[in-house]
Chains A and B, each alone.
Chain A
Amino acid sequence: MFHPFHWQQYPVIIMIALVVSFLALAMIFVTLGIIYFHRIKTEDTNEEEAASELIIIEELNKHILRYDSLNEVPEKELLNVINKLTRLKQKSLVFTKVLTRTLMSFSILLTGTIQLVINATYNLLKLQEDTFKKLKSKLWFVKIEGLREVQEINDNDSISQVITLTKDNNINVRVSAYAALIQLDSKEKYKFLDDEQETLTLWHQIILTNAMEKIDSNELPDFKRYLGSTNNSIVLLCMKLILHYNQLNAVSSLIKLLSHKDDEIRCFVIQALGKLNADEAEQQLIERYPKESLGNKTQILLSLGNIISLISLKFLTDKFIRGEHFDILKSAAEAINTFPQELKKLVPIDSTLLDEKQITLIKHYEEPLNLYGSI
């Protein structure tokens, strides 16, 4: 028998629970609906992107990129393909996005005269106008998207706008603008190393280093010029670049930085001097040793291991025998092991003075497989 439902016969708390449950159920269905709709839309966009990419690659390869310069392309053929792509571009935003992305990919993967063809095609398709709009956007991530397009297409017409964005309030926009300028034909490429006051994160440093990797290393400046910067992240970046590009003429400037007040900077200077095999820094490193923190002391020992000299070996052997701290012992043993046997014979270690830990460390650095389980 069916009993009609009467609200009134239930307590208020049950009524509230029913309403809440109904609302929760409704929200679950709405959420599922949104997720489903979003997935369908993403799938459609992906399909449209794939179809657009096929058309773009086909048209560009068949009519434009098979030539070494745009002058070689028959006028009528060029006009036809540009008109076709422009029509499709006007019809769909997805097509425009894929068109820009494809030209950027070509620009990244190819060098030589074809770069000029890609650049000219980009301008003929009026994609530069879209990029300009992005550069003028109020949203920081849209500006960065525009800057990346300028950078990858090597669009030198946008230099003045990129320079404006080097003064943006957002550090991410500024760093992208610096990276774009590095790849463009600008006189202000490295001005940011003098001007930037905010800390550059490791990610920012990677973006800038990547941009520098893409240009001829002869165009790079002497990074020692910027070692006096008051921005520690700039000093660290320049030291990494000095090391990466092996700028040996920076050694004397690096030695001056050994008295820098920042512990992290000093640690990196010590490391850099070692990696550059700067034997002229040997005396300063030894003098610096008693004044440094434990971390920097171990770094000095490792760097002295790179500066292969009798003085360094004597110093390292002394620190190893004294064995003030395990980290010191470890670094000294590692550094001593880098010396050639002939030199090591000149400063023999008296094994009767060593304890079991020291003997194990020496063994370990002679045979790396002994490390784990022995100590």
Chain B
Amino acid sequence: MANNKILVIDDERLINKFLASRLEREAWDVDTAIDGIEAMNKITRNKYDLILTDLIMPNVAGLELVIYIKNSKLNADVPIIVISSLTSDNVILDVLSIGVEEYISKPFSMNVVIAKIKQILGKKSVA
């Protein structure tokens, strides 16, 4: 499972750094972006194995970003996990309908996030 490259996108520095440090502990390569534009730049240049993103961010909204990822050259088939404080059914259904693999609501448990990532990356490597 080592050397998988994960992009963490969250404008909340607290969560961004926390996720990065916990994922690095699992021996994954972690890259971070603090807003939608920085994320778009990184998605255009680099290939990732998984993307973790928030929905409410400055500059580019999370949903637009997900669509951007799905239309990108390098990362169109990359699994996406959304971690957001939005808990309305409509939002979750919208996000899942555009191809997001998992939706995790804030507050979240890091152990659950890690388990989901392992599950998704495991499926991907089998495929």
A contact residues around B73 at 8 Å (CB): none
B contact residues around A58 at 8 Å (CB): 17
How many angstroms between the C-alpha atoms of A43 and B21 in the bound complex? Answer: 30
Known: A108-B107, A109-B107, A111-B107. A66 touches B14 (CB 8 A): no
B contact residues around A111 at 8 Å (CB): 107-109
Answer yes or no: A68 CB below 8 A from chain B CBs. yes
Known: A66-B22, A106-B18. A112 touches B109 (CB 8 A): yes
B17, B107, B110: which contacts A57 (Cβ < 8 A)?
A: B17
B25, B106, B111: which contacts A109 (Cβ < 8 A)?
A: B106
> A residues 58-94 with Cβ under 8 Å of B?
58, 61-62, 65-66, 68
Answer yes or no: A53 CB below 8 A from chain B CBs. yes
Answer yes or no: B91 CB below 8 A from chain A CBs. no
Known: A58-B17, A109-B14, A109-B106. A65 touches B22 (CB 8 A): yes
How many angstroms between the C-alpha atoms of A112 and B106 in the bound complex? Answer: 12
A62, A66, A105, A114: which contacts B109 (Cβ < 8 A)?
A: A114
Verify A112–B13 contact, CB threshold 8 A: no
Verify A61–B13 contact, CB threshold 8 A: no
How many angstroms between the C-alpha atoms of A54 and B34 in the bound complex? Answer: 14
Answer yes or no: B76 CB below 8 A from chain A CBs. no
Verify A65–B18 contact, CB threshold 8 A: yes
Verify B21–A61 contact, CB threshold 8 A: yes
B contact residues around A112 at 8 Å (CB): 109-112
How many angstroms between the C-alpha atoms of A109 and B85 in the bound complex? Answer: 9
Verify A105–B111 contact, CB threshold 8 A: no
Contact with A along B8-51 (1 / 0, CB 8 A): 00001111011011100100000000000000000000000000
How many angstroms between the C-alpha atoms of A109 and B14 in the bound complex? Answer: 10
Interface size range on A against B: 10 to 19
How many angstroms between the C-alpha atoms of A62 and B21 in the bound complex? Answer: 7
Verify B17–A110 contact, CB threshold 8 A: no
Verify A57–B14 contact, CB threshold 8 A: yes
Count chain B residues whose beta carbon lies closer than 8 angstroms to a beta carbon of A.
Answer: 17
Answer yes or no: A102 CB below 8 A from chain B CBs. yes
How many angstroms between the C-alpha atoms of A108 and B108 in the bound complex? Answer: 9
With both chains docked as a complex, state the minimum distance between the C-beta of B28 and any C-beta of chain A, in angstroms.
13
How many angstroms between the C-alpha atoms of A224 and B116 in the bound complex? Answer: 40
With both chains docked as a complex, state the minimum distance between the C-beta of A62 and any C-beta of chain B, in angstroms.
6
Contact with B along A96-138 (1 / 0, CB 8 A): 0000001001101111111000000000000000000000000
Verify A66–B15 contact, CB threshold 8 A: no
B contact residues around A105 at 8 Å (CB): 14
Known: A62-B21, A66-B22. A53 touches B108 (CB 8 A): no
Which A residue's beta carbon lies closest to that of B112? A112
B contact residues around A54 at 8 Å (CB): 13
Contact with A along B107-127 (1 / 0, CB 8 A): 111111000000000000000
Which A residue's beta carbon lies closest to that of B16? A57
B contact residues around A53 at 8 Å (CB): 13
Verify B13–A110 contact, CB threshold 8 A: no
Known: A61-B21, A62-B21, A66-B25. A106 touches B109 (CB 8 A): no
How many angstroms between the C-alpha atoms of A112 and B18 in the bound complex? Answer: 15
A contact residues around B12 at 8 Å (CB): 109
How many angstroms between the C-alpha atoms of A169 and B74 in the bound complex? Answer: 63
B contact residues around A114 at 8 Å (CB): 109-110
How many angstroms between the C-alpha atoms of A272 and B15 in the bound complex? Answer: 40
A contact residues around B109 at 8 Å (CB): 110-114
Please provide the 10 A-B residue pairs with the shortest distance between their CB atoms, ordered closest to farther: A112-B109, A61-B21, A111-B107, A111-B109, A66-B21, A66-B25, A61-B17, A57-B17, A109-B107, A61-B18
**Contacts from B to A (Cβ < 8 Å):** 12-15, 17-18, 20-22, 25, 106-112
**Contacts from A to B (Cβ < 8 Å):** 53-54, 57-58, 61-62, 65-66, 68, 102, 105-106, 108-114
Contacts A61-B18, A65-B22 known; list 18 others, CB within 8 Å. Answer: A53-B13, A58-B17, A61-B17, A65-B18, A65-B21, A66-B22, A102-B14, A105-B14, A106-B14, A108-B107, A109-B106, A110-B18, A111-B107, A111-B108, A112-B109, A112-B111, A114-B109, A114-B110
User: What would be 27 A-B contacts, judged by CB atoms less than 8 Å apart?
Assistant: A53-B13, A54-B13, A57-B13, A57-B14, A57-B18, A58-B17, A61-B18, A61-B20, A65-B18, A65-B21, A66-B25, A68-B111, A102-B14, A106-B18, A109-B12, A109-B14, A109-B106, A110-B107, A110-B110, A111-B107, A111-B109, A112-B109, A112-B110, A112-B111, A112-B112, A113-B109, A114-B109
